A and B are shown apart, each in its own frame.
Chain A
Amino acid sequence: MKTNPAPAPDFQVLQQAAEWFAVLGSSSVSADQWQRWQAWCEADERHRAAWARVQAISGAFTSLPTTDKSGARQTLDTASERQRVRRQAAKMLLLLCGTGSLGWMAASRAPWAEWNAGYTTATGERREVELADGGRIWLNTASAMDVDYDTGRRRIRLHRGEILVETALDTVQPPRPFIVDTAHGRLRALGTRFSVQRREDSTQITVFAGTVELSPANGGSPRVLAAGQQSHLNAAGATPAETAGHAREAWQRGLLLAEDVRLEDFIAELARHRPGYLGCAPEAANLRLVGAYELADTDRVLAALEATLPVRIRRILPWWVVVEARQKESAPQDRTG
């Protein structure tokens, strides 16, 4: 079926072919112009290949199967005008609502929400998403994001929860910037693996490879984070870079990592992976914890805590669980204080 394809014409050749198309479409073409066009065609095989494509495109329009050509033009004009208006309205709406939850809700109801791919995870669910360019994003528990690729940029909007991003080289030349937007600002990835966690009043960014540029939503000066660093971004600015741990990456492998953390913080993190309420009593809050726990079974994690720390798990209701300090007499004998 296939004949040997001619070498693909490069941009410059396509540009010349388009110029010639415009020149020859005029009603007054001089003999000299015809000759120069012919010379151009004969000069190179790629010129002829480009011209063949010009003819195919032009043919698709002139051979439209209707006698009502002006009706066809009117149809295409009307449809195009409506699309232009809708795209503008979509942009306006995002501008008005910001990228916060309101913007997300409004967009999810609007007809053009169909144009963005939306991804969510339920509590306790984790999910991998492969992007059109081969990049990957993992969604942590109870998270929501939109993937919005267009001709100018690759844009992710994180509405809640946490994602781990692994960018790929863009399939388009020149490469489009890869950005992640949250209510607190914009992150621009420069060839990279990094995690983004939406919190109530800030967004935590941790970089594992490459660099990420953070720009606060209110227009403060950007900060660049390198591999091994993390920072908290809010609308006004970003905190100074600090050394990053591996916890913000481990959940992708189904692990909850405790690198000498307070029990209260660990429980808060674990609670995000469980439906219902999970809390830590104040007297147990400052116990410290080291270890790696499987997220797949949060009840087992709680049992492991009970086995290694002076705490007990109180199930007040099936979905209401509190981690408390154990009574003194039942504490392990080898603990002295």
Chain B
Amino acid sequence: MPATAHPIADLYAEHHRWLRSWLRQKLGCSDHAADLAQDTFVRLLTQEQRGTPVEALRQPQAYLATVAHGLVVNHWRRLEIERAWLETLSSQPEPLAPSPEERTLLLEALCELDALLDRLNPKARSAFLMAQLEGLSYIEIAGHLGVSERMVKKYMAQAMLHCLQSGLAPA
């Protein structure tokens, strides 16, 4: 253990309170604000473990706000995905009742996939999901989307390239 305090510990001591109130303003909820403030520092720690050291920052608050802002966006997005999923569940004739653990894991995974596919053109996205999740053949997908089989192949390459370039891809 080094004698001097960790730079992130310093950041935490000095700006944690500020960040929490900043987030409270954005979210309108102090519980979520506290969670996301913690997540922001966790994000910094994992970043550092991956080899991006957090040095003394010239503008620590602006930096924290940028990281936290990304988490706020993810937070809203997550709620939206959860809502879409609950709607899907309730529209099924025999609703499944997954356990809370299963539910958390699935939502986590869905959010990751959603982020990977963000801003991909809708048809390429649909083709890719039909093939990867439901195991449909290119001919079947072509039928669903009303395009040629060749086009489906193009969509598949386009979607994969999009994921490869997203920077979020699983290592």
Contact = CB atoms under 8 A, between A and B. Distances in A.
B106 A27 contact: no
A229 B135 CA distance: 62
B55 interface: no
B45 interface: no
B54 interface: no
Contacts of B18: none
A60 interface: yes
B157 interface: yes
B144 to A, nearest CB: 11
A285 interface: no
B42 to A, nearest CB: 18
B156 A82 contact: no
A47 B116 CA distance: 21
A54 interface: yes
Contacts of B132: 58, 61-62
A84 B122 contact: yes
Contacts of A307: none
Q: Is the interface of B mostly helix, strand, loop or mixed?
A: helix
Given A22-B157, A129-B62, A71 B88 contact: yes
B113 A65 contact: no
B26 interface: yes
Given A17-B164, A64-B109, A73 B129 contact: yes
Interface string A151-175: 1000000000000000000000000
A36 to B, nearest CB: 16
B81 interface: yes
A60 B156 CA distance: 15
B164 A18 contact: yes
Contacts of A132: 66
A59 B139 contact: no
Interface residues of A, number: 54
A115 B157 contact: no
Contacts of A114: 26, 72-73, 76
B117 interface: yes
B52 interface: no
A22 B59 contact: no
B110 A72 contact: yes
Contacts of A60: 109, 112-113, 116, 170
A80 B153 contact: no
B169 A151 contact: no
Contacts of A75: 81, 84-85, 88, 110
Contact of A79 (B81, B92, B119, B131): B81
Interface in A69-88: 69-84
Contacts of A76: 81, 84, 110, 113-114, 117, 129
Contacts of A131: 62
Contacts of B80: 79, 82-83
A221 interface: no
Contacts of A2: 51
A22 B122 contact: no
A114 B119 CA distance: 19
A130 B59 contact: yes
A37 interface: no
Contacts of B171: 53, 56
Contacts of B98: 66
A14 interface: yes
Given A72-B110, A72-B133, A75-B88, 13 more contacts: A2-B51, A14-B165, A15-B161, A18-B164, A22-B160, A25-B138, A25-B153, A53-B171, A64-B106, A69-B134, A74-B84, A75-B85, A111-B76
Interface of B: 26, 51, 58-59, 62-63, 65-66, 69, 72-73, 76-77, 80-81, 84-85, 87-89, 92, 96, 98, 102, 105-106, 109-110, 112-114, 116-119, 122, 125-126, 129-135, 137-139, 153-154, 156-158, 160-161, 163-165, 169-171
Q: Which 7 A-B pairs have CB atoms at the shortest separation, nearest pair first?
A: A130-B59, A22-B157, A61-B132, A18-B161, A22-B156, A130-B62, A78-B84
